[in-house]
């Protein structure tokens, strides 16, 4: 059984459905590539997947080691290159909720983020920058 099913609905838009949950997302081509930019672009989803994966793996590590990261926020910047058009860099800026983490806890969280499956699946030509701020 597939994980995701999708349909091209025209106008450079797709609708995707997560088979197990039934949740749906829409993608649009970005304005700088002939689209309307009214939804995530496929490359936006790529960048978002990296940030979400890092947060998820940090959450798993935090649960295992009893570290509080609830409320951690992320800002994701995707940088495109031309010829060929591709994602060249993804900058992940994380803000953890407080500044009382020990050096060991910081190491655990950063290692979890850097070793998430999406990070390990991306082409080595995509620069991944992880910036972490403590204390909101």
pLDDT tens readout for residues 16-71: 999 999 999 999 999 999 999 999 999 999 999 999 999 999 999 999 999 999 99
Domain containing 26 equals: 4-33
Q: Are residues 10 and 65 in the same domain?
A: no
Q: Are residues 24 and 64 in the same domain?
A: no
Q: Are residues 85 and 126 in the same domain?
A: yes
Is residue 136 pLDDT above 70, yes or no? no
Instruction: Name the DSSP letter for residue 47.
Output: H
Rounded to two decimals, what is the model's pTM?
0.94
Q: Are residues 48 and 113 in the same domain?
A: yes
CA distance 90 to 37: 19
Q: Are residues 100 and 46 in the same domain?
A: yes
How many domains would you assign to the chain?
A: 2
Contact indicator for 48, 40 with CB cutoff of 8 Å: yes
Q: Are residues 8 and 70 in the same domain?
A: no
């Amino acid at each position: 059984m597939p994980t995701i099913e999708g349909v091209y609905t025209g106008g450079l838009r797709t609708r995707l459905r997560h088979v197990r949950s039934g949740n749906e997302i829409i993608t649009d081509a970005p304005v700088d590539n002939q689209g309307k930019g009214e939804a995530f672009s496929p490359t936006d989803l790529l960048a978002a997947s990296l940030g979400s994966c890092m947060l998820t793996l940090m959450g798993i590590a935090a649960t295992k080691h009893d570290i509080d990261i609830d409320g951690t926020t992320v800002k994701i910047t995707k940088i495109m290159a031309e010829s060929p058009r591709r994602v060249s860099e993804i900058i992940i800026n994380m803000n953890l909720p407080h500044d009382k983490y020990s050096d060991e806890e910081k190491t655990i969280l950063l290692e979890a983020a850097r070793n998430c499956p999406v990070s390990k699946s991306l082409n080595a030509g995509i620069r991944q920058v992880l910036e972490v701020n403590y204390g909101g």
